[in-house]
Amino acid sequence: MRTDFILNGKSVQAEHKPGETALEILRRIEVYSVKRGCDYGECGSCTILLDGKAVNACLILGHQLADKKIETVESFGSTFSLHPLQEKFLDEGAVQCGYCTPGMILSAEALLRNEPNPSDKQIRDALAGNLCRCTGYVKPVKAVHS
C-alpha cells in the first residue's frame, strides 16, 4: 500500500506493507536518526514528532502517517548551524554514545514548544520515555533546562 505524508517539510509517498511500522518505513527510506532499541514502545530511540507530538515510531503503523507532518532531527538546524537544543546537548555533555540523542532532542522539542520554561519535573516527564544507559539523565535534563 501507499501512504502520503509530510516528512521534514517535504511530501513523501511511501510504499509499504500493511502492518509495517513507521520505524520500519522511515529507516527504509534512510531516515537513520530514527533508531531501533526495543520495537515495543519502551526505549524511545525511535521517537518522531507526529504533528508536533513526540511518539514512538515503532508503535505507529504506516497508514497512520497518512497526511501527517513528521519531523525528525534531520530537519533540525542546517548543514552549517545547529538547532539550539542540539547546541545545548553538545555544550552540556549530554551526548555520550548518541544512540538515544535524536529521540531525546525531539521529546525535549515537543515539550519546549508548549512550555518554553519547563520545570525540572516537566523535563523529566518529557524525557521519561527516552531510555538512556550512558548519562544517568543528569546532563540531558540540564541541557533542556538551559
Which residues would be at the binding site for other proteins (CB under 8 A)? 17, 30, 32-40, 42-43, 45, 72-74, 76-77, 82, 86, 89-93, 95-102, 105, 123-125, 127-141
Orientation angle between helical segments 101-114 and 120-127, nearest 10 degrees: 130
Comparison of 54 and 105: residue with beta carbon closer to other proteins:
105
Name residues whose C-beta falls within 8 Å of residue 105's C-beta, 6 or more positions apart in sequence.
73, 76, 83, 85, 86, 89
Nearer to other proteins, 12 or 74 (CB): 74
What would the grid cell of residue 5 be?
505524508
- Give min distance, CB of 115 to other proteins, in A: 16
> Cell 511530501 appears where?
11
Shorter beta-carbon distance to other proteins: residue 30 or 67? 30
Closest CA to 1 of 69, 64, 62: 62
CB of residue 60 vs other proteins: minimum separation in angstroms? 18
- The distance of closest approach from Cβ of residue 61 to other proteins in the complex, given in angstroms and rounded to an integer, is 15
Residues 6+ away with beta carbon under 8 Å from 145: 118, 120, 123
By beta-carbon proximity to other proteins, the closer residue of 67 and 145 is 145
Q: How far is the CB of 3 from other proteins (least distance, A)?
A: 18
Inter-CA distances, 53 with 47, 49, 92, 103, 141, Å? 10, 5, 25, 12, 19
Least distance (Å) from other proteins to the CB of residue 15?
14
Nearer to other proteins, 69 or 129 (CB): 129
